[in-house]
């Protein structure tokens, strides 16, 4: 069994992230054989969130995990098109921002999973 590899998280500097900084950090981390990146793109205040996802994707051979703000199907499609491997879900499901008419957390999570499985809208 091999030792676990570290995972890069940008949480400490999320608000000040810029695409060149993300690209540089991801490239440096990939060179150190890091296991992956968790990018809080929608917490950035100085850059377009999808630009950060594109920068992370372009800088490394792997695909980033994007934290937060997947509150509608279009956002899931945008993340997939930008090259995200996955996204985290929190308040979009718990607070009901995603599929609020479904009413239950189980229903909202089901809708998120269905949209994630087919981000292009296909069945």
Would you state the structure tokens that stand for residue 74, as one six-digit string?
A: 């279009």
β-pair type (7-9, 65-66): unpaired
- Tens of pLDDT, residue by residue over 79-113, are 889 888 888 888 888 988 899 899 899 999 999 99
pLDDT at residue 43, as a whole number: 77
> Does residue 76 contact residue 87 with C-beta atoms inside 8 Å?
yes
Find all residues with CB under 8 Å of 42, minimum gap 6, and list them: 49, 67, 68, 69
Q: Is the dihedral of CA 31, 25, 120, 90 positive or negative?
A: positive
Query: Per-residue confidence at 122, pLDDT binned at 50, 70, 90?
Result: low
pLDDT at residue 12, as a whole number: 46
Coil, strand or helix: which one is 109?
A: helix
Q: Which residue has the tokens 């189980």?
A: 106
User: Would the pTM of this model clear 0.75, i.e. be above it?
Assistant: yes
Distance from C-alpha of 46 to C-alpha of 120, rounded to nearest angstrom: 29
Q: Which residue has the higher pLDDT, 67 or 77?
A: 77
Q: Which residue has the higher pLDDT, 14 or 114?
A: 114
| CA 114 from centroid of its chain's CA atoms | 17
């Amino acid at each position: 069994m091999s030792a676990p590899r570290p995972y890069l998280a940008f949480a400490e500097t999320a608000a000040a992230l810029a695409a060149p900084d993300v690209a540089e950090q991801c490239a440096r981390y990939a060179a150190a054989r890091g296991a992956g990146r968790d990018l809080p793109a929608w917490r950035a205040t100085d850059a377009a969130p999808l630009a950060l996802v594109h920068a992370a994707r372009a800088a490394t051979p792997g695909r980033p995990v994007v934290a937060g703000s997947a509150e509608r199907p279009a956002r899931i499609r945008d993340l997939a098109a930008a090259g995200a491997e996955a996204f985290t879900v929190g308040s979009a499901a718990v607070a009901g921002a995603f599929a609020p008419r479904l009413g239950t957390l189980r229903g909202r999570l089901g809708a998120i999973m269905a949209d994630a499985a087919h981000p292009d809208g296909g069945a």
